[in-house]
Amino acid sequence: MSYEQEEEDHYGPGYEVGSYTKDYNDGPYDGENDLNLNSNPEGKPRILLMGLRRSGKSSIQKVVFHKMSPNETLFLESTNKIVKDEISNSSFVQFQIWDFPGQVDFFDPNFDCEMIFGGCGALVFVIDAQDDYIDALMKLNLTVTRAYKVNPNIRFEVFIHKVDGLSDDHKIEAQRDIHQRANDELMEEGFDSVNLSFYLTSIYDHSSYKKNVLQSFIIDSNEALDFKLVREPSDVDNDETTFKPEMSHQIFGENESIFGYQNLKISLYYTAGKLNTYLGMNYSKKVDPKQFEGATADDVMGAITPKLPPGYMTNLDDFLVTLNKEQSFKPPGELLSTYSINKGTNTTDYKGSAAEKNFELYSCTIEEPSFRSYHERLQTFLLWYVDAASFIDVDDDRWRFYLIFEKYPCDGSHRYALCGYATVYLYFAYPNKTRPRISQFLVLPPFQRVGLGAELLNTIYRSFLKDSNILDITVEDPSEEFTRLRDFVDAQNSKKLSSYSKEKLQQGFNAEMVEDAQRELKINKKQARRVYEILRFEATNLADVEEYRAYRLDVKRRLNIPYQKEASDYKKLQKALNAEELRSTLSTSTKEQRIENLDKQYQMLENEYRHTLERLAATK
């Protein structure tokens, strides 16, 4: 039986009609602005500007059309919503540019491909030539194929951007490689008639020697930053104790770069337990405004210090003196559990000489003595490791804090080093329950991949399990990494429930699973369904054609629910609107497009589930 027949026979009523809404809204986009995507009352030509995050899309637009200085683009914020720009240089040159954020998901049911691509004259896709462009080429292929299906008349322009930092040979090689890969992938998928035009681009004027020299003063802020959790003075000069941020755009702008220095190093050190803070910087050369038309160096310290609480130090000797106070530091709050790992086991990449590492997990509230000032130092890590991070209002007494420390030997006694922390907010759940929501969750890089994340999450769960007033536990805007961690922990715990036995999994998702997961593990219904799909996949014999097919259909029926709802809405509107009004209200997609979307959504889920099951198998 063909895949299409499989869908026809088993997806049930409503599958044959569906639509994409026009209020496309992905993640943190401003929904009020995004609702107006198809507003173009004057029928101006439309150019779409797309590419991965940090590729330089917005910088190009600002320099070319708004005469922004290239150096000023270093401070542009990340594009996190679709931004429309009206270009009216004269009565003859008028058009719109739509700048899309890098995380656009074409398979989101809310993404209206017909409306977005249908009225488009040109699509400009920007690739960062200085980065590993494999992911960019995959996104380019997906973008072009989706757009071409809707509108074969679109002109596709590929900007191979930021070439100012490359040698002439490297530029030519990058253009050749990108051109070859992009066209080969299109031909393999049967899109050999699509024409892509490629250009080497830069926001800097290559005819000016000074502009080229200025490029040597642009530093990757992620590379410039050095973090340390200092336990003893020798750690300062030990490269093995250094770790890097995952991001810095929340401090240094979309491009995550710093202008005006050569060989710049920024030192942000914390004492391992008390988190006393040192901030310093050094460099070999600083740009001279007199030589470069008034170009001035970025104020690095001025960008970071507003985020640090009072009391940070800029003198390294003063900072090292505070290490003497580490011996008196005790973790705040109540000790909930302990955890140990042995060096050399398959669960750890942790660096250290001791045969065993011991950890302690604590919980506390903001009322804990001295914790308020400690939390001010603690939360600064979020800016470098959690996207769209914000500091919480600690005066709200419904916040709960969970911290994990390594307890390590020192001078015949023990000291503590912070490893990570999480915050949980106690929301009200009607009529008389409480629903905790995990808001922030971070394990610092030196302590990752040793099981501490799972232990911290399990500790949070256990702190609420015996409380009958707790309905279930939710998560606020989980990242992909946290989703994988949560899937692993929830699947591991749910395997112990009788309702998730292999025999019952094969019978399908049911109310007993929902009730057991909520009562015994405080897992909400949506997550209980996801855990069911993970564990049923584990219980499915993939070599059995019918058994595997039954599993796929079970998952796809759930994925098809939004399409069924859209189909129902469409039928209701058919009765209330005429054909023209209906077309302006909803844009329907073909049955083949919906099947393709469902298949790709399913494949993505199966890959995620496989990773979870591999980790489960490794812990047996």
- pLDDT of 193-246, one tens digit each? 999 999 988 887 544 445 556 678 889 999 999 999 999 999 999 999 999 999
Angle at 250 between CA 244 and CA 253, to 5 degrees: 100
Least confident stretch, 64-78, 286-300, 383-397, 509-523: 64-78
What is the distance between the alpha carbons of residues 490 and 460, in angstroms, rounded to a whole number?
12
- Beta-carbon contacts of 217 under 8 Å, excluding residues fewer than 6 positions away, are 259, 260, 261, 262, 285, 287, 297
- The helix/strand/coil state of 200 is strand
**Cα 419 to Cα 30: distance, rounded to the nearest angstrom:** 35
Ordered by start, the domain boundaries in the chain are 2-205, 217-323, 335-538, 545-618
Which has the higher per-residue pLDDT, 151 or 204? 151
CA 396, 400, 404, 410 torsion-angle sign: positive
* Res 42 pLDDT > 70: no
The predicted structure's pLDDT at residue 238: 97
Task: Give Cβ neighbours of residue 136 (< 8 Å, ≥ 6 apart).
Answer: 51, 52, 55, 127, 128
Structure-model confidence comparison of residues 584 and 580, the more confident one: 580
Whether residue 182 is predicted with pLDDT greater than 60 in this model: the reply is yes
CATH class of 2-205: alpha beta
**What percent of the chain clears pLDDT 70, i.e. is strictly above it?**
86
CATH superfamily assigned to domain 217-323: Histone acetyl transferase 1 (HAT1), N-terminal domain (3.90.360.10)
Rounded CA-CA distance 563/132 in Å is 36
What stretches of 189-315 show up as alpha helix (H) in DSSP? 209-215, 221-224, 249-252, 300-304
Residue identified by tokens 């929830």 is 490
> Side chain identity at 335, as an amino acid letter?
L
Alpha carbon 56 to its chain's center: 18
Q: Is 596 a catalytic residue?
A: no
> What confidence category does residue 31 fall into, taking pLDDT thresholds of 50, 70 and 90?
very low
Across the chain, what does the average pLDDT equal?
A: 86
Percent of the chain with pLDDT over 90: 63
Distance separating alpha carbons of residues 328 and 273, to the nearest angstrom: 10
Which residue from 464, 537, 554 is spatially nearest to 500, judged by alpha carbons?
A: 537
Q: Is the pLDDT of residue 472 over 60?
A: yes
The one-letter code for the residue type at 173 is E
Catalytic site residue from 77, 476, 481, 512? 476
295 touches 71 (CB < 8 A)? yes
Please enumerate in sequence order all residues whose Cβ is within 8 A of that of 115, keeping only pairs 6 or more positions apart, or say none: 20, 22, 37, 38, 587
Contact 220, 245 (CB under 8 A): no
pLDDT at 346: 45
- Looking at 38-47, 379-388, 473-482, 553-562, which range is the least confident one? 38-47
12 pLDDT higher than 50: no
Residue 208 has what pLDDT? 40
| Choice among 80-94, 365-379, 546-560 with the minimum mean pLDDT | 80-94
Q: Up-side HSE of residue 9: CA atoms within 13 Å toward CB? A: 9
Structure-token pair, residue 73 = 């683009």
Q: Give, in words, the CATH class of 335-538.
A: alpha beta
Q: Give the pLDDT confidence score for residue 32 in this predicted structure.
A: 36
R_g of the chain, CA atoms, integer Å: 27
Tally of CB atoms within 10 A around 462: 13
The pLDDT value given to residue 362: 98
Dist. CA 109–CA 562, nearest whole Å = 8
pLDDT exceeds 80 at position 187: yes
For 494, which DSSP code? Answer: H
Measured distance CA(108)–CA(80) in Å, rounded: 16
Asked whether the beta carbons of 15 and 594 are under 8 A apart, the reply is yes
Q: Which long-range contacts (CB under 8 A, 24 or more apart) does 511-515 make?
A: none
Strand partners, 523: 473
